[in-house]
Each structure stands twice: as C-alpha cells, then as structure tokens.
Structure 1
Amino acid sequence: MKLRGKQKRYLRARANHLQPIFAVGKGGLTQSWLNQLAGALDRRELIKVNILQNADVDTAELKAFIENHTDIQVIQTIGRVLVLFKVSANKDLRELSNRVARI
C-alpha cells in the first residue's frame, strides 16, 4: 500500500503513544531479526524499533536494510527510534490498515 501524506500523519499520531517493542543491539541486523520483526508487524501493523547505544548501525542503515529486504514501510524516524508500518497478511488483523485505506 502506497501511503499518502494524510495517511502517514494518521499513523504517526497513532504511534505517538507506543513504546518500542524491538531493539537493534550489537548483534546487528540479521535475517532472523528481520523475520521476527515481520511477524510482529503481521500482528500489530504499527510498531516502533529502538536502536541501542551499542549498536553497530545507525538509523539510515537500518531504514535502508528494512526497506530493501521487506515490504515494511518506515513512516517516521525520531532520533534512534523508527516507526514501521505493514499491512497484515491476516485479514482478521487488518483493523488499522482498513482505517488508513479509508483516509
């Protein structure tokens, strides 16, 4: 789903109260970490990812890695925190993406 400006603003507002549930540490970026991230996004559709201080990557590298290897969209970058969105593969869990599509 290609997002327009109003849709991104809506998602940013919804993510405002969320706490990061994933972190990137000194283990770096691996395929298994990316698979876990995709699984969590299938259930929630909108999450935050935190880059720890001891991580070997910065926000630009993480954003490029996620966007190049998956269909996950980076909605916003706030310091060392990224807001991610992906439409759920399960039709029963698409509550947020259905609202976004109507905007």
Structure 2
Amino acid sequence: MSLNAAKKKHFRSIGHNLNPVVMVADKGLTEGVVEETMRALNDHELIKVKFAIGDRDARQQLISQLLSATNSDLIQTIGKIALIFKPAKKPNPTLSNLLRVQ
C-alpha cells in the first residue's frame, strides 16, 4: 500500500501517544515475534515495535525483515522504535488505534 505524506503525518501524530506492543531482542525475528506482530496489527492496525538491538545496521535489517514478513508499511523509526501500519480487513472500533482517535 502506498501512503502519501499527509497520511504518514497523520499516522505519526497518532503513534506519538502509543506504547510499543512488540519487542524484538537478541534472538531476532522468531516465529513467535512475527505471529504476535501480525496479531497486534490485525487488532490495532498501527503499532510500535521496539528493537532492543544495539547495532544500527542489524536493527534496520530486522525492521525490513519484519515489514516483509508481515506485509506492513513503515511509517517512521526513531531510535530503537519502529511505527508500522497494516490496514485490517475488518477493523474493530474498540481496538483499532486509527478508529479510536478519529
């Protein structure tokens, strides 16, 4: 999905108040991490993922791998936090970070 600059800016403003719901640590992208990320994206559509990896290049590579594994879009990275988005097929108004804010 191609996101324009205005949509990304809107998502960044929503993401500012979110806390990370998934954490990727030393073991990298395990099957459990990918599954939990997919579950969180299906529920919330817009989530933060924390990468507890010190090496910047390794962190960027893991972010790219997670995006391709979940078929999601990167909105923004700040330090060790990535804000990612994937539209839900049937968003739940009580869980979706996008619907709750509007």
TM-score tier by shorter-chain length is 0.7 to 0.9
What number of residue pairs does the alignment pair up? 98
Contact 1:41 1:88 in 2 (8 A): yes
Distance in 2, matches of 1:9 and 1:92, equals: 23
Match of 1:38 in 2: 38
Contact 1:51 1:58 in 2 (8 A): no
Distance in 2, matches of 1:44 and 1:91, equals: 8
- What is the aligned-residue RMSD (CA, Å)? 2.5
Match of 2:19 in 1: 19
Whether 1:28 and 2:33 are equivalent positions in the alignment is: no
Distance in 1, matches of 2:97 and 2:76, equals: 21
Q: Which amino acid aligns with 2:98?
A: L
Distance in 1, matches of 2:97 and 2:80, equals: 28
Identical aligned residues as a percent: 28
Whether 1:79 and 2:95 are equivalent positions in the alignment is: no
Contact 1:49 1:82 in 2 (8 A): yes
Match of 2:98 in 1: 96
Question: What TM-score do the two structures reach when normalised by structure 2?
Answer: 0.80
1:47–1:92 Cα change, 3 Å: closer
Question: What TM-score do the two structures reach when normalised by structure 1?
Answer: 0.79
